[in-house]
Amino acid sequence: MARRRRCFEVLLYMKVLGRVVGLWRVLRSRPPGPCPDHEDLQDTKSQGSVVGEAPAQADQRPPVNNLAGEDASDDGTVRDQDPQLIVHPTVEHVHGPKEVTYGVDELIVLCLVRDGRPYVRSFVEHYSSMGVKHLVFLDNGSTDGTVEALKGYDSVTVLRTGLSFREHELSMRRYLAERFGRERWSLLVDIDELFDYPYSDVIGLDSLLRYLNSKSYTAVVAQMLDMFAQKPLSDRPGKMDEPLKELHRFYDISNLRRKRITEHPRCPPDNTYGSDKIATFSGGVRLTVFGVNTFLTKHPLVFLDGKLKPVRPGPHWHSNARVADFTGLLLHYNFLDEHLHKQAAKAVREEHRTEKGTIRYKQVLEVLENDSRLSIKTDTSKELKSVNDLVGTQFVSVSREYMRFVESEEQRSGHYFEESRSERLFRAFFDAKEEVAALAEQVETMREQNRILRRKYRGVSE
């Protein structure tokens, strides 16, 4: 038994070390000097494992079929009532344009919201600064001023429905996607989630979408990263419209559970991937602090090409997807003092979520009530300055082709410097090296626990 455990520990360490070496080779794969111009992305071949259709230009994509009313299949495809029949008759237009026209290299954000007032300013400003074309909100019974705050923005459409969240969450999300996202890119996020992607400081949103179109990708995986403030949590009211990204700068990925995405039971078997390095994650801060093992991997950025379908469990995964060769981040701002207390108490009291969701909120509420000043930040927490900080760790994945694209975009912008490339290389390498050291420390902790258990077992036997 001991020999088997030692073999496992050695294999784990070698596997992590292999990822570091692989990343180093990826970043070193380009020779010094500027990259060739990337004017014709359609000629670029994928370096991943995507199979099936040859890359097509965006305007040659197949027409979108109506997903509504389709029967469920045995592969977990969502069996739900037609959103046009169930949701549309209940929808009231509140603010902004009823329909939004945008191109294949533009993005629209779609958000189902209820009582998200503390997030409105940070949410709208983040996506507006990113270059998003328009934001559409489907309000589901807010009573905290969310709708009134959203009315203050020109680039926003607000709709309203009184349907039961517990019974019709999937239908409401599908309604947004099918009404506004056909044959175009849409980002389906909650109001406490801010999407970002590797080297967004170099690659503009329009360039990113052109890259995705050139590869005929229809989905991007993103990992949810829980963000929190330096100060302990309390039940005090927060200031209205606080700058969340400035105050909640810390994260912790020391307690994650990882599985390769193609090996996860939730992964639809008909999806193809531009990289075999993409993984799923669960756990993290919420597992450490509240004992809640939350699944952190989603498909928020999608292109409805007529084949893409939502799948259970949950509304954030899709089948028949051609998944991109990099992963993004969903910066998740859930730990907002009084707001978190109120949301947890309301979820438990009204039971408007699923049974599993209600149980999780009960766990959160119990911890909050037992500790009025709950500290989330620990010695393993780090300050996030950029999504690029996580390139080189297991949490954010980038392919060789994507890194070449980053360098080509840097050159096109006229800001290419060999020093910046070297900085990316060394930062990624040392981030990976630090992660290896952390994992090695975990292995040593496991070995020490194993030695203690062996001594106890011998004591009992004697």
Full 3-state SS string of 425-452: HHHHHHHHHHHHHHHHHHHHHHHHHHHH
Mean pLDDT of 436-445: 56
- pLDDT of amino acid 419: 52
Which residues lie across from 282 on neighbouring strands?
Answer: 257, 295
Contact present, 157 and 96 (Cβ < 8 Å): yes
Which residues lie across from 234 on neighbouring strands?
Answer: none
CA–CA separation, 142 and 199 (whole Å): 35
In the block, which residue shows the tokens 């050139």? 214
The angle formed by the CA atoms of residues 318, 60 and 208, to the nearest 5 degrees, is: 60
Q: Which of 59-73, 79-93, 249-263 has the lowest mean pLDDT?
A: 59-73
Q: Which of 62-76, 167-181, 373-387 has the lowest mean pLDDT?
A: 62-76
- Cβ neighbors of 246 (< 8 A, separation 6 or more) are none
The angle formed by the CA atoms of residues 395, 399 and 401, to the nearest 5 degrees, is: 155
Question: Sorting pLDDT into bands at 50, 70 and 90, what band is 234?
Answer: confident
Q: Is 51 exposed, middle or buried (0-12, 13-18, 19+ CB in 10 A)?
A: exposed
Mapping DSSP onto H, E and C, the string for 334-396 reads CCCHHHHHHHHHHHHHHCCCCHHHHHHHHHHHHHHHHCCCECCCCCCCEECCCHHHHECECCE
- Which phi-psi region, left, alpha or beta, contains residue 155 (left: φ > 0; alpha: ψ -120 to 50)? alpha
The pTM assigned to this predicted structure is 0.74
Q: Which of 72-81, 180-189, 380-389 has the lowest mean pLDDT?
A: 72-81
- Tokens representing 56 are 């097509």
Question: Sorting pLDDT into bands at 50, 70 and 90, what band is 393?
Answer: confident
The letter for the amino acid at 351 is E
Mapping DSSP onto H, E and C, the string for 145-183 reads CHHHHHCCCCCEEEEECCCCHHHHHHHHHHHHHHHHCEC
Q: Using the 8-state DSSP alphabet, how is residue 133 labeled?
A: S
Question: Is the predicted pLDDT of residue 345 greater than 70, yes or no?
Answer: yes
Q: Residue ranges of the alpha helices (H) in 52-119?
A: 83-86
- Tokens representing 36 are 């060739």
Question: How far lies 103's CA from each of 106, 133, 181, in Å?
Answer: 5, 9, 11
Higher local confidence (pLDDT), 183 or 368: 183
| Mean pLDDT for all residues in the chain | 79
Contact present, 181 and 118 (Cβ < 8 Å): no
- Tokens representing 42 are 């359609």
Half-sphere exposure of residue 80: CA atoms within 13 angstroms, side-chain side: 28
Contact present, 198 and 396 (Cβ < 8 Å): yes
130 phi, psi to nearest 5 deg: -75, -20
pLDDT in tens, 16-50: 445 544 444 444 444 333 333 333 333 333 322 22
- pLDDT of amino acid 417: 54
CA–CA separation, 281 and 259 (whole Å): 7
Length of the chain: 462
CA–CA separation, 178 and 159 (whole Å): 15
